[in-house]
Amino acid sequence: MARYLLSRALQALAVVFGVIALTFVIARLIPGDPAVAYAGPKATPAEIQAARVRFGLDQPAWRQFLDYVGGILRGDWGTSLHTKSPVLDDLLRVVPTTLVLVVCALVVAVGVGVPLGVFAARSSGRLGDLLAKIFSILAVSMPVFWMAILLQLVFFSHLGWLPAAGQYNQSLDSTSPLFTVVHIPVVDALLTGNWPVFLSAAQHMVLPVITIAAFPLGACAMVTRAAILDNLGEEHIRMVRALGFRERSVLGRFAMRPSLNPILALVALVFAYSLTNSFIVESVFDWPGLGSYAIDSIQSLDIPSILGVTLFVALVYVFLNLAVDIAQALIDPRVRS
Amino acid sequence: MRTRTRTRRTLVTALVAVALTLAACKGTPPKASAAADATFTYANNLTVMTSWDPAASYSNEVIAMNNIYEQLTRYDSTTGKVVPLLADSWSSSSNGLTWTFKLHPGVTFSDGNRLDAAAAKAALDRTIKLGAGAAYEWDSVRSIQAKGPTTLVFHLKYAAPLDLIASSAYAAFIYDTKAAPSGDLAQWFAAGHAAGSGPYVVSDYQKGQENELTLTANKTYWGGWKGAHYTSVDFRVVPQETTAAQLLQGGQVTFVPRLSPTLFNSLKGAKGITTEQTPSFQNILAMLNTASGPLADPRVRRAISDAIDYDGIATALKGAVVKAQGVVPKGLLGYTTGVSQTTDAAQAQSLLDAAGYGAGGKELSLTLTYASGTPELDTIVSLMKSNLAKVGVTLNAKALAWETQWALGKSSDPSKHQDIFLFYWYPDYADPFSWFVNLYRSASPVVFNLSYWHDAQVDRAIDGIQALTATHRAAAQRQYEQLQKTISEQAVSPVLGVDNFQRAFSSSVGGYVDNPSYSNVVFVHDLTPTS
Amino acid sequence: MSAASGDTLDPVRRSRLPWAAAARRSPLLTVGAVLGLVIVVMGLLAPWITPHPQDAGFATHPADILLGPSRSHLLGTDSVGRDILTRVVYGARVSLGITAFVLVVSAVVGLAVGLTAGFVGGVVDSILMRITDVFLAFPALLLAVALTSVLSPSALHAAMAIAATWWPWYARLARAQAAAIRHQGYSDAARVIGASRTRQVLRHVLPNAATPVFVQMSLDAAGIILTAATLSYLGLGAQDPTPEWGLMVSQGQSLATTAWWVVTFPGLAVLLTAVACNFIGDGLQTALDPKRGRR
């Protein structure tokens, strides 16, 4: 067991190193001189040279790479060109706001997707299965940007049921002033018991959460169904069934448990995917998180920030996968072999 | 830039802090404001505060600055006259070289310091000395003299319309030069502070956030708070105009400065919303790179200018843009119908042939940059691509954040310069001088001369034109006409159109009057909130 | 997309089901195939079946902007007066072209890397697979964002960026195949009779790896179409006037409340194409792997 965990961790470490190396290579591909860009339009040759020394651009490539890796490990992810703040500070500021959306979306996705998959597996081969499959495929085939715009159009512009954008209705500030605790209005409102703001914030989250949840929901339903059917076909299930257990208890007791593994793996996988989907969702719904930050960076040609976001999401992916592997090894010893 | 956005706070430490915070602030709301207080929320599509120094401010922040700071005078666009603001009255000597302003007595800055002639002199002296942004407006001033507490005298090098200059939306603010506790005023401003005499003061600033800036009533404002007024002003960054319109309909924003024609038309007659269309002093220019690349050849520039379908642009933008006549918009000194741009694809083609880009010649591919988030420019760029494709020219357009577009345009490295720089220009005060001194006078380093145009004769004409304006308006008119003719002949910057501002605001706003010489500014204190 | 599928295909099963039998097993396969065929044929015949072919290029019509759906413009016109029906139909060419490019490039690269790793094994295998993991760790959209902000945005660069994030799936798949087959009898037999390694790969391993790769490709097509459209939507893919669906949605976004047709139809085209690909992929999988489908 320890041996497996160690080798898995070493592998992850190698991938982390590779991920950092790849962002370094991309950064090197940029045409033009970052020192000139940083020093600004009025810079003298001396100032440009100073910037070059400051960024270590006068060093050989391997040295620059070591400095780059060292910097990332120390928490120095470069300076954003458009906010002028350290990239890591920016990320730590915006990521929690995005996490609120993504975590809610994944809860919805698993909460609806797994039962849907179970339902499909139970009615395998019948109409219910087919409808569930069509629904799941529609969910994973949905272009996120389009879905976001259409939801806004229908539920705000036409029906007027839900707010269009932002985190909460700010005109509530005068009647129910919000204490800032973690700088995420919905969490702040919950923690301080500010119900009018919490209600407003929750309403503001409905459409973005649905949009982000679509893909993981469909994927979750399909994986759940497949995993259960795989297991239902296996010997021990047939035995249980032959012994006369009712369908429901076969599903609940025996088939579901080994199906948890693929679902767990899927959630880890779609987590990173949902982070990138938040790009579009946040820009459409004006949600000030990682996605809005990334879009601003793209439009400002702000390479340090773009690479910072890229690196961050890639690292999240690697660590989640590692965590899932470890969790699976703990749950199911067969995985280790 | 205030600590809020800078503080690195992980979720964990923040959660740990929750209990303490909750215990500490129970019962004492952070923003103690009564329900009856009216807030005016301005939805801007771009970041509002790009600079905090009232001496250097020359960008989007003008919409906030004009509610925090005041000038000596204000230009009233409806009457075309300069009216009193901090100065009650003024006069000039017959040769236009000495101007005397009488200040309103008893005015204080929001920090309590007195705004007297000495303070006004100190502010303008600093602005002139820094020479940043629109400070060029004061180039005619030799010295400023404070005579007693309320008399301010300007001695000029050459005659200039100083009452008009003093009304400028930029670089004419009177601010408290003694506001910084440390003495380093520039640094103090840069940290997000303000010290003006205007009706509002900064209460909250969150750099880079959607709710970027909140202003609150300056309780000691000399203009007073009698009657109904908005007591706070929020500036909210809403990049998508559709979102802005929806927020307006939902009552979450009060004022949306610019909407695209279709959206504007759809809001006409909407319940609780007032729409208004006002001709502006703002035009859309395509600055052609006269210094390097294919457009350094005047024949190619001419060809581009001839290929653009100006009527098509005005047609496609349905009332949001009208066709331009020269650089100076209608309603300002120098406007002329004598310079017009025509569309002539055949002539464009023959000019390109002559320059070696025609059939069988070199391929011509041009780069164009423009600010993202402006649907009007998206449409114009699509039309230009189509127009230029007809004469075999490929246009590579890039939508960038404005700061990035500008930084590349004024880069010290010419290889980063675009061939065509698309942007808007409007005057800093009700006079055409701003276009000429900024866009067409040679400059090193480049700031707004983004055609990189250099013509010594034009430079001389521009340098003399302000004096002419103060003393001999008819001659100034002729001079401006001549300049526009030269610029048009050389095809330095085709003018793609003049904007009509299509604004929408909540019907609860009473007393709104658009003032095109303060582009997009809402003087919130002048308004009356109704319900 | 790949997350949900293709991971448990039995590596050595070589199912060659007749189409009719496959279609019987999965009705969605038929629906998807018909829909996909319609989209492909529409794309191929675009110049002959669209009412205003010039609108797919540089043409603009300032007098006809933002007209609602009518008889002369069935799906309306956009902000510079172009016929949306024409552009949506032409858009099939762009999306399918990008998809084909990405699939071919990533399948070739993935197969080469995966087969090498699986067949050679040992240290080479470890190194190649770690490299694969690195690329796998980048969500497709993000690596594409990073790459296209370094290169200039265009449909080709977007396609290259997507391919860079897609090949690892094929490498993993091919490696699993190669490794499994390496331990199979026929490969050993070939070795005994002295066939060269290259020959073994070409004659035995590659054909065996091909079947699951094809299934994977049809499922991936949906993901590629969505990613490409998203990149264009962000301004990082095809540029105006290319009739790319994602780009068309972004051009219509600011007009959504007043001219709903500008955003709606191109987005619908993306959805339908992705659905067609997923139906086909899912159907093929069900047909080839009966355990997953009806029992």
A181:B11 CB<8 A? no
Look at A79 and A217; give whichever has higher pLDDT: A217
Closest Cα partner for B426 from B514, B299, B359, B305?
B514
What phi, psi does B499 have (nearest 5°)?
-75, 145
- Give the C-alpha separation, A190 to A199, whole Å: 9
- Give the C-alpha separation, A145 to C263, whole Å: 10
- Give the C-alpha separation, C174 to C210, whole Å: 8
B386:C241 CB<8 A? yes
- Provide the pLDDT for residue A242: 65
Look at B222 and C145; give whichever has higher pLDDT: B222
* Partner-chain residue, chosen from B22, B39, B411, that has the shortest CB–CB distance to A174: B39
Please tell me if residue A203 touches chain B, with a CB cutoff of 8 Å. Answer: no
HSE of C249 in the Cβ direction (CA atoms, 13 Å)?
30
Average pLDDT over residues C179-204: 61
Domain contains A326 = no
> What tokens appear for B352 in the block?
């390109």
Q: What range does the domain containing C45 cover?
A: 17-53+73-293
**CA-to-CA separations, B85 to B71, B78, B92, B122, B427, in angstroms, rounded:** 7, 16, 17, 18, 20
Sorted by sequence, the CB contacts under 8 Å of residue B74 that are 6+ apart come out as B82, B83, B84, B85, B167
Place C217 in a pLDDT band, splitting at 50, 70 and 90: confident
Average pLDDT over residues A278-283: 87
- Give the C-alpha separation, B462 to B460, whole Å: 5
C147:A307 CB<8 A? no
- Give the C-alpha separation, B282 to B167, whole Å: 18
- Give the C-alpha separation, B372 to B398, whole Å: 8
What phi, psi does B20 have (nearest 5°)?
-60, -50
- Provide the pLDDT for residue C12: 39
Number of domains present in the structure of chain A: 1
Domain contains C191 = yes
Residue type present at position C62: P
Domain contains C1 = no
Mapped onto helix, strand or coil, the DSSP state of residue B466 is helix
- Provide the pLDDT for residue A71: 85
Place C11 in a pLDDT band, splitting at 50, 70 and 90: very low
pLDDT at C209 over 90: no
B389:C253 CB<8 A? no
Chain centre distance of CA C181: 27
- Give the C-alpha separation, A90 to A99, whole Å: 15
Beta strand pairing call for B151-156 and B98-103: antiparallel
Q: Min CA distance, B303 vs chain A (Å)?
A: 31
Helix (H) or strand (E) holding A39: helix A34-39
B397:C253 CB<8 A? no
Q: Min CA distance, C53 vs chain B (Å)?
A: 14
Which DSSP symbol is given to B329? Answer: P
> What tokens appear for B262 in the block?
């279709």
Place A132 in a pLDDT band, splitting at 50, 70 and 90: very high
Sorted by sequence, the CB contacts under 8 Å of residue A242 that are 6+ apart come out as none
Domain harbouring A177, CATH code: 1.10.3720.10
Helix C206-233 × helix A127-141 angle, to 10°: 60
Residue C244 burial (10 A CB sphere; 0-12, 13-18, 19+): buried
What phi, psi does C191 have (nearest 5°)?
-65, -40
Mapped onto helix, strand or coil, the DSSP state of residue B282 is strand
Sorted by sequence, the CB contacts under 8 Å of residue B406 that are 6+ apart come out as none
- Give the C-alpha separation, B469 to B482, whole Å: 15
- Give the C-alpha separation, B321 to B500, whole Å: 6
Q: Min CA distance, B462 vs chain A (Å)?
A: 24
| Dihedral sign computed on CA atoms, order B195, B201, B206, B212 | negative
Domain contains C159 = yes
Sorted by sequence, the CB contacts under 8 Å of residue B385 that are 6+ apart come out as B395, B397, C58, C240, C241
What phi, psi does C238 have (nearest 5°)?
-55, 150
A145:C138 CB<8 A? no
> What tokens appear for A126 in the block?
């019948």
pLDDT at A300 over 90: no
- Provide the pLDDT for residue A263: 78
Beta strand pairing call for B141-147 and B255-256: unpaired
pLDDT at A49 over 80: no
What phi, psi does B156 have (nearest 5°)?
-105, 155
pLDDT at A219 over 80: yes
pLDDT at A43 over 80: no
Please tell me if residue A41 touches chain B, with a CB cutoff of 8 Å. Answer: yes
Beta strand pairing call for B420-425 and B364-371: parallel
Chain A neighbours (≥3 Cβ pairs under 8 A) are B, C
- Give the C-alpha separation, C230 to A146, whole Å: 9
Chain C positions touching A113 (Cβ under 8 A) are none
Please tell me if residue B210 touches chain A, with a CB cutoff of 8 Å. Answer: yes
> What tokens appear for B354 in the block?
């002559």
Looking at the DSSP assignment, which residues form a beta bridge with residue B425?
A: B283
Helices (H), A233-302: 235-242, 247-249, 256-285, 290-299
> What tokens appear for B302 in the block?
């001419």
Chain B positions touching A30 (Cβ under 8 A) are none
Radius of gyration of chain B (CA): 24
- Provide the pLDDT for residue A180: 72
- Provide the pLDDT for residue C257: 76
| Dihedral sign computed on CA atoms, order B281, B283, B289, B294 | negative
Domain contains C102 = yes
Domain contains C282 = yes
Average pLDDT over residues C175-193: 64
Which DSSP symbol is given to C4? Answer: G
Q: Name the residue with tokens 């954008």.
A: A165
- Dump pLDDT digits (tens) for A234-266: 666 666 666 666 666 666 656 666 667 777 778
Q: What range does the domain containing A195 cover?
A: 99-301
Average pLDDT over residues A50-69: 74
Q: Min CA distance, A13 vs chain C (Å)?
A: 10
Average pLDDT over residues C77-101: 94
B266:C240 CB<8 A? no
Domain contains C283 = yes
pLDDT at C105 over 90: yes
> Are the CB atoms for B49 and B212 separated by under 8 Å?
yes
Which DSSP symbol is given to B209? Answer: S
Closest Cα partner for C286 from A137, A217, A254?
A137
Average pLDDT over residues C95-104: 94
Domain contains C197 = yes
- Provide the pLDDT for residue B17: 33
Helix (H) or strand (E) holding B498: strand B495-506
- Give the C-alpha separation, C215 to C131, whole Å: 24
Sorted by sequence, the CB contacts under 8 Å of residue A85 that are 6+ apart come out as A79, B5, B6
Domain harbouring C194, CATH code: 1.10.3720.10
Sorted by sequence, the CB contacts under 8 Å of residue B68 that are 6+ apart come out as B54, B194, B196, B198, B200, B201, B202, B215
List of chain B residues with pLDDT < 50: 1-36
- Give the C-alpha separation, A63 to A177, whole Å: 52
- Give the C-alpha separation, C78 to C287, whole Å: 43
> What tokens appear for A27 in the block?
């950064």
Per-residue DSSP letters for A71-123?
A: HHHHT---B-TTT-SBHHHHHHHHHHHHHHHHHHHHHHHHHHHHHHHHHHHHT
Closest Cα partner for A104 from A226, A177, A201, A172?
A201
Chain A positions touching B400 (Cβ under 8 A) are 299-301
Q: Name the residue with tokens 């009657």.
A: B227
- Provide the pLDDT for residue B13: 30
- Provide the pLDDT for residue B494: 95
Q: Min CA distance, A231 vs chain B (Å)?
A: 40
Nearest CA in chain C to A317: C137
ipTM of the complex, rounded to two decimals: 0.83
Sorted by sequence, the CB contacts under 8 Å of residue C57 that are 6+ apart come out as B389, C241
- Give the C-alpha separation, B71 to B51, whole Å: 18
- Dump pLDDT digits (tens) for C220-269: 899 999 999 999 998 888 888 999 999 999 988 877 877 899 999 999 99
B210:A166 CB<8 A? yes
What is the average pLDDT value for chain B, to the nearest integer? 86
- Give the C-alpha separation, C64 to C75, whole Å: 13
HSE of B397 in the Cβ direction (CA atoms, 13 Å)?
24
Closest Cα partner for A147 from C94, C253, C66?
C253
* Partner-chain residue, chosen from C58, C79, C255, that has the shortest CB–CB distance to B386: C58
- Give the C-alpha separation, A157 to B270, whole Å: 12
> What tokens appear for A155 in the block?
């539920």
- Dump pLDDT digits (tens) for C86-95: 999 999 999 9
Asked whether the bond before B445 is cis by omega within 30 degrees of 0, the reply is: yes
Number of domains present in the structure of chain C: 1
- Give the C-alpha separation, B326 to B506, whole Å: 36
* Partner-chain residue, chosen from B313, B372, B378, that has the shortest CB–CB distance to C251: B378
Chain C positions touching A295 (Cβ under 8 A) are 234
> What tokens appear for A244 in the block?
């006369």
- Give the C-alpha separation, B316 to C61, whole Å: 8
3-state helix, strand, coil split of chain C in percent (to 5) is 75, 0, 25
What phi, psi does B82 have (nearest 5°)?
-90, 130
Domain contains C11 = no
